[in-house]
Amino acid sequence: MGFVDTFKSTLIVKSIENLRQDADASNMKRALTGKDVVLIGTGEIIGAGIFVITGTAAANHAGPAIILSFIISGIICAFAGLCYSEMASVVPVSGSAYTFTYATVGELVAWMIGWDLMLEYLMGAAAVAVGWSSYLVKFLHTCGLESDPTWTSAPVGFTDADGFSTTGAIMNLPAIAISLFCTAILCFGIRQTAWVNHAAVAIKLSVILIFLFATFSYINPENWKPFIPEAHNGKDYGFKGVLRASTMVFFAYIGFDAVSTCAQEVKNPARDMPIGILGSLGLCTVLYILVSMNLTGIAPYESLNSAAPLADAVANLGMTWLRVLVGLGGVAGLSSVILVSLMAQPRIFYTMAHDGLLPAAFGKIHPKWGTPVLPTIVSGVFCAVAAGVLPIDVLGDITSAGTLFAFFLVCLSVTVLRFTRPDLPRPFKVPLGPFIIPILGAASSMGLIVTTGWPTVLRLLIWMALGMIVYVTFSYRHSRLRTGKVPEGLEGVDEKHAAGNEKHVETV
Nearest to 38 by CA among 303, 282, 203: 282
pLDDT at 419: 84
17 or 440: which leads in pLDDT: 440
Class of 31-507 per CATH? Answer: mainly alpha
**pLDDT tens, residue by residue, 453-493:** 677 788 888 888 998 999 888 888 888 877 777 766 665 55
Share of the chain above pLDDT 90, in %: 3
Residue 83's pLDDT is what? Answer: 85
The interaxial angle of helices 269-298 and 190-215, nearest 10 deg, is 30
User: In the prediction, which pLDDT does 498 show?
Assistant: 37
What single letter denotes the amino acid at residue 127? A
Calculate mean pLDDT across residues 236-258. Answer: 76
Q: Mind listing the pLDDT tens digit for each residue in 403-421?
A: 788 888 888 888 888 888 7
SS3 sequence of 63-93: HHHHHHHHHHHHHHHHHHHHHHHHHHHHCCC
The total of other beta-carbon atoms located within 10 Å of residue 464's CB is 16
Give residue 448's pLDDT band: very low, low, confident or very high (50, 70, 90): confident
How confident is the model over 328-385, as pLDDT tens digits? 887 877 887 788 778 778 878 887 888 888 888 887 777 766 678 888 888 899 999 9
Q: Give CA 273 to chain center in angstroms.
A: 16
Which residue has better confidence, 68 or 141? 68
Tell me the residue type at 84: Y
82 has pLDDT over 90 = no
Query: pLDDT grade, residue 263 (50/70/90)?
Result: low
As a whole number, the mean pLDDT across the chain is: 77
Confidence of residue 505 (pLDDT cuts 50, 70, 90): very low
pLDDT at 428 over 70: yes
pLDDT digits (tens, 9 = 90+) for 274-291: 777 788 888 888 888 898
Task: Give the pLDDT mean for 203-223.
Answer: 88
pLDDT of residue 475: 85
Q: Strand pairing of 163-166 and 505-507?
A: unpaired
- C-alpha span between 183 and 117 (Å, rounded): 18
CB 318 within 8 A of CB 172: no
Amino acid symbol at 241:
G
Single-letter amino acid, residue 232: H
The pTM of this model reads: 0.76
- Residue 47: DSSP 8-state: S
Using an 8 Å Cβ cutoff, are 32 and 265 in contact? yes
CA distances for 85 relative to 100, 260, 261, 277, angstroms: 11, 8, 12, 7
